[in-house]
Chain A
Amino acid sequence: MKYKIWIGIVALGVFIFAIPQVLEGYSMNVMNVALLFSIVAYGISIMMGMGGQLSFASVSFMGGGAYFIANVCTNRFGINMPTLPALLLTPVVFAVIAFVIGLFLFKLKGTYFTFSTIALVQVAYTFFNNYKPIFGGADGISGIPTLNLFGYKFTSYNKWFYVIVACVIIVAVLVERIRRTQLGRSLASIRDNETAALTLGVNVYMTKVIAFSIAGALAAFAGALWCMHGKFVGADMFNYANAAQFIIMAMLGGVNNTIGIVVGAILVKVLPELLRSLQAYMQLIWGIAIIVLMVFMPSGRAGLYERVREKVGSFIDKNKPGTGKEQPHETSSKA
């Protein structure tokens, strides 16, 4: 296992070093946004991959985070916070908000919870799009200051890249960590069998609410970064179609695969830019790709790798008894 970690670190180093050399301007912007979106997708991974709860609400919390920054950093209400504390405050504020909302929404189960998150997205989007005093209405809010890190201003997309990569790495480590804590295992037990989890003493309701709150905080953090990065926030980003896009992103990469999530986000955002000539067919190709993916590798691209390894592994293990490893957090549900 050790060498794999080193390969990973080297690959990451090459990625961080090479991307800003190759890309600039618009293409760098696309790459940054893709990485930002992967933070939102991590939130979905906690909800859906670990807990088995399909929630659309992340996109609204992302919007909430973005509008929060747009209001407290631009002197709209006489508040003019420095950008760094505002950025750090956002996930805290929205963790609390998501916690309270989660308390209500998780009175529902399964499909009906999903419906309620769709309702949340619709309500939030309508307010973002119509309420001028706070959300700027259909025009959105522009002139948001860029991140100011102890006097160093991130003025170009290439400079932003490093911040965003650092944030993604922190979030990825956090998610990987949560997977191995009591919370992660409780969530996995809820996903696999809610009734069994309940009888085993898992506080199902509270565990779900906490997961929802973490997902909300991550999405709000990504939203805050996103609006500082683009210096603009508009309501169009936070509608139902984009909420579905985030879920597709998380599923494509492998909803339980920490590295796969980033790959999924990059696939969804960057691939359409690379294949400009196919632009007209791109959406159609995506749609078909998603269906085919779900048929052949339901836990995502990375899931395929795991399945192949499982098959090949069990073949090898037959000859070498006692080397089979248990990976409880990656078992797929049979519910």
Chain B
Amino acid sequence: MDFTLFSTLVINGLAMGVIYAMLAMGLILLIRAVGILNFAQGDLLMFGAFISSSLILDFELPLFIMIPLALLSFCIVGLIFMFAIYWPLRKASYPAATIIATMGASIVLKEVATFIWGALPRSLSPILTDEAGKAAILYIGSVPLQWQYVLIIVVGSILIFLIFMLFEKLYVGKMMQAACQDAYAANLLGVPTIVTIAATYMIVSVLASVGGYLVAPIFMVRNTLGTLQLRAFAGVVIGGFGNIKGAIVGSILVGLIEVFSTVSFSGYKDVTVFLLLIVFLVIRPQGLFGEKIADKA
């Protein structure tokens, strides 16, 4: 393996890892906020990709109008998602019901996307292109890197960093965390839990959907994009228990492993990622950054 190939693979792996990390972070935020494992996370990504493709291809909006409009519609999708899937079920007596409902939501999102935009994959051109309309390429020394991958890493990392800061450092984030830990007590202290939960859902939707917009030029916009969430699940477990930092590192690891194993044994690339996951579960069930698993009584 020469240096050019190696560095291309590293960049591709990091880019995919960042995408998985965006999904994984959303998963953890939802688990912490409402205790729900969201099986429609990948489909939110898919929906985001379709919305942005629609704004670009159907409405032909310039980038500076398209981006705020896209963000707004991602927020609305998140809100609708919350009021359809979480709100009616928040007092469900059967804990699996909420998870099954997200599985239903996954089907609905897929079918609605097929219904609106058709079953054929749509191709979206990269965000940065050269004069000929091809993907722009960044040369570092003699190593060619696709701008799209670099852009994924930069934009994704910034977004992840900002949301991490929001939750860990700002007062609003503290309020949101309080609402997660004990909704009743937080309500008594004047934290509007419905607003914080709605905000969490919107953030999660934006994270996933921006990921969708960023990967769309690579995988094309199709309704099977949702399967990316399985890698995010792997990243969450490898990283550690309900730990955002761990989930991000784990997801990036998954992205890198996936890319390198594609080169070595293409047919079995899924095996490497998920076998690693199972090995991790056996040897170190608490994940890379997790603490020893303990039960809350």
Contacts and interface: CB of A to CB of B under 8 A. Distances in A.
Interface of A: 48, 52, 54, 104-105, 107-109, 111-112, 114-116, 118-120, 122-123, 125-127, 130, 194-195, 240, 244, 247-248, 251, 255, 281, 283-284, 286-291, 293-295, 298-299, 332-335
A287 B277 contact: no
B104 interface: yes
A299 B111 CA distance: 25
B92 A115 contact: no
Given A122-B230, A122-B270, A291 B101 contact: yes
Query: Which 6 A-B residue pairings sit nearest by Cβ, starting from the closest?
Result: A290-B104, A287-B107, A287-B108, A298-B97, A284-B111, A298-B94
Interface in B82-109: 84-85, 88-89, 92-101, 103-108
A195 B93 CA distance: 19
Given A105-B281, A111-B31, A54 B237 contact: no
A119 B97 contact: no
B281 A107 contact: yes
Nearest to A129: B267
A284 B119 CA distance: 14
A290 B278 contact: no
B96 A52 contact: yes
A119 B274 contact: yes
Nearest to B282: A104
Contacts of B268: 126-127, 130
A260 to B, nearest CB: 14
* A contacts with B: majority SS: helix
B278 A119 contact: yes
A62 B267 CA distance: 22
A175 to B, nearest CB: 18
B65 interface: no
A296 to B, nearest CB: 8
B295 A294 contact: no
Given A284-B111, A291-B105, A123 B270 contact: yes
* B contacts with A: majority SS: helix
Interface in B266-297: 267-268, 270-271, 273-275, 277-278, 281-282, 285, 293, 295, 297
A120 B94 contact: no
Interface in B55-103: 84-85, 88-89, 92-101, 103
B227 interface: yes
A291 B271 contact: no
B230 A294 contact: no
Contacts of B96: 48, 52, 54, 251, 255
A163 to B, nearest CB: 31
Given A108-B293, A126-B267, 19 more contacts: A52-B96, A104-B278, A107-B285, A112-B237, A115-B233, A115-B236, A116-B281, A122-B273, A123-B274, A240-B230, A244-B106, A251-B100, A286-B104, A291-B85, A294-B92, A294-B104, A295-B88, A299-B93, A333-B95
Contact of B100 (A104, A294, A333): A294
B87 to A, nearest CB: 9
Interface string B187-220: 0000000000000000000000000000000000
A284 B104 CA distance: 9
B115 A284 contact: yes
A98 to B, nearest CB: 14
A111 B93 contact: no
A290 B109 CA distance: 13
A294 B97 contact: yes
Contacts of B158: none
B37 A111 contact: yes
A333 B94 contact: yes
A194 B241 contact: no
B39 interface: yes
A109 B101 CA distance: 21
